[in-house]
Each structure stands twice: as C-alpha cells, then as structure tokens.
Amino acid sequence: MAIQVELLDQTKDPMKSLYIAYRTAYSSLTPMQINKRIESGKITREKMEEFIERRLQTGHGSPLEQVWFEFGIAGVSRSFSHQFVRHRVGISFEQQSQRYVKFKDARFPYTVPQSVQRAGKAEQMEAAFEELGKLYQELLDAGVPAEDARFLLPNAASTNFKITVNFQELLHICDLRLCTRTQWEFRKVAAMMRAEVNRSVPELGMYLQPKCGERRWGYCDEDYEAWEACPIGRKRPHKRDMFKIFDSHRKGELIPLDAADFKLIEREDSGVA
C-alpha cells in the first residue's frame, strides 16, 4: 500500500496568527488592536513576514505552538507508527485500531521495504505474510477476539493516522526526521508533510528542514563518521569543526576570511535544503 499524506486543515491564517502572537509579546498594543491594524491594511503581509522572520532568528519558539496543522496519513507501517508516537509534545494522534478493525478474507495490507526487494527476499516475505493472514483468519473464525488475534500481525502491517500538530513540533519532527540518517519510511512521511505545508503556507514551509539546514541550526550534531558519510555533509559543517574554529578564534589563531571567501561560501551553500 502506497504512503499517503494530506493536509486536511490548518490555522485559518497562520501568518496572521503567528504575527499577532509574536507582536503581543513585543508591543504595548493589545492583541485586538494589533488585529485591527492588520485588518485595516496598516500592517501589510510583507511587514508581518519580516517581523516573523526576525523573531524566528532569535529562537523565540512559544508562539509557534499557536499555529496548527491537521494531517491524514495512510498506508504507513506499524514499524513507522512505533517511532511516530515517540513525538509527544505538541502533537495529538488518532490511529487505526487493530482491536476494533478486523482484516477480512485472510488479507492485511503491508509494506515490503526496498532493501528486502533488492536482497531478492520479497517473495519469501510476502509468502510468510500470506500464511500469517490465513492463520489470523482461522483465529477469528475460531472465536478468538481481534484484540488477541492481532498478536500475530507483523510490524509491516499497514496503519492509518489522523493527527494535529503545532508548528513548533512540526519543526522538531523535520529537524530529526529529514536527516539522511532517518529510517526511510519516516523520512518519506516527513518530506510529504513538508510538501503539503509548502503548498499551503510556503512562508512557513521553507523552515521545515533537517536540523543542519540554513534556516535551522546550520550544522550537524550527529557523530562525525555519519557526517562524513552524509551526501550533504560537505555543504553543512559538523559541530566538532565549528568548535575548532571557535577555539582558534579564541586563541587568536584564526585567519579572517576576506569578502571573496564569503562569496564563495555563499555560492557553494546556495540551493541546499
């Protein structure tokens, strides 16, 4: 079963909501007065975007919790779901039950990883699932409750989610799950969630990057060997190297870069997610 991710609903006007939240913290005006200024056109979208961008650069994150997105996610494995529900703050899950939902006719949807296919073991894996499906059906027919028959079902069995997540937690999910070290299924789901937000609110979607992205931390904090093996490792510094540069600067050993060097760095760094 193919993975499906769809943005079902969201904060009515995420940029407006976020601006009012931020502005309330940094202004003597009431939220109602700020809202009236927006509605009158005194505060333009451009001004809101500029202000929000400056606030995001400071790391002020609590207003991001007031912007939310609802997603429908289907065709993911139970293996994925065990990782997904580890995200607990700022996110609410409803998941398809294997207690109340029975798979009929000795068949249940499942996922076969590409690595299994490349190893030439897909047919054997599917045959094993077919046998499990038959025994699952026999258990149900024998009167075994679905909540007990499900003990037989593998992590490959498909499941569905309806979730609500605030933007702060969505940033955190993408920080971790867009990393090249992430398990392939979770990385795909995170990328599809990002694509949905990008289509709806590109002003916020552009911040959904792996943690090494230029709009996030800007460096890698995984182990050094993983950074060396990463396909974008050459474009993003590792924290160990950054600490070395800082130490050299502290000791007065760092040779300042000239303008041409900075232009070269910017050119090499452009276009990287």
Range from 15-24, 36-45, 213-222 carrying the lowest mean pLDDT: 213-222
Averaged pLDDT score across all residues of the chain: 90
Measured CA to CA, the distance from residue 128 to residue 104 in angstroms comes to: 17
Chain-centre distance of CA 162, in angstroms? Answer: 15
- DSSP state at residue 236: S
Residue 249 pLDDT more than 90? Answer: no
The two three-digit tokens of residue 48, written as one number: 């809101």
- What whole-number distance in Å separates Cα of residue 176 and Cα of residue 192? 15
Separation between Cα atoms, residue 103 and residue 139, nearest integer Å: 12
Q: Among all chains, which residue has been given the structure tokens 């593998």?
A: 154
Tell me what pLDDT residue 72 has. Answer: 98
Mean pLDDT of 109-136: 96
Three-state SS at 197: helix
The mean pLDDT value for 63-67 works out to 96
Is the pLDDT at 108 greater than 50? The verdict is yes
* Residues tagged active-site: 177
* Residue 266 reports pLDDT greater than 60: no
- Over residues 138-188, the pLDDT tens digits come to 999 999 999 999 999 999 999 999 999 999 999 999 999 999 999 999 999
pTM: 0.86
Q: Dump pLDDT digits (tens) for 72-83.
A: 999 999 999 999
pLDDT of 255 reads 58
pLDDT tens column, 200-241: 999 999 999 999 999 999 899 999 999 989 988 778 889 888
Bigger pLDDT: 56 vs 269 = 56
What pLDDT score was predicted for residue 254?
A: 65
Sequence-distant (6+) residues with CB within 8 A of 4 are: 72, 73, 74, 75
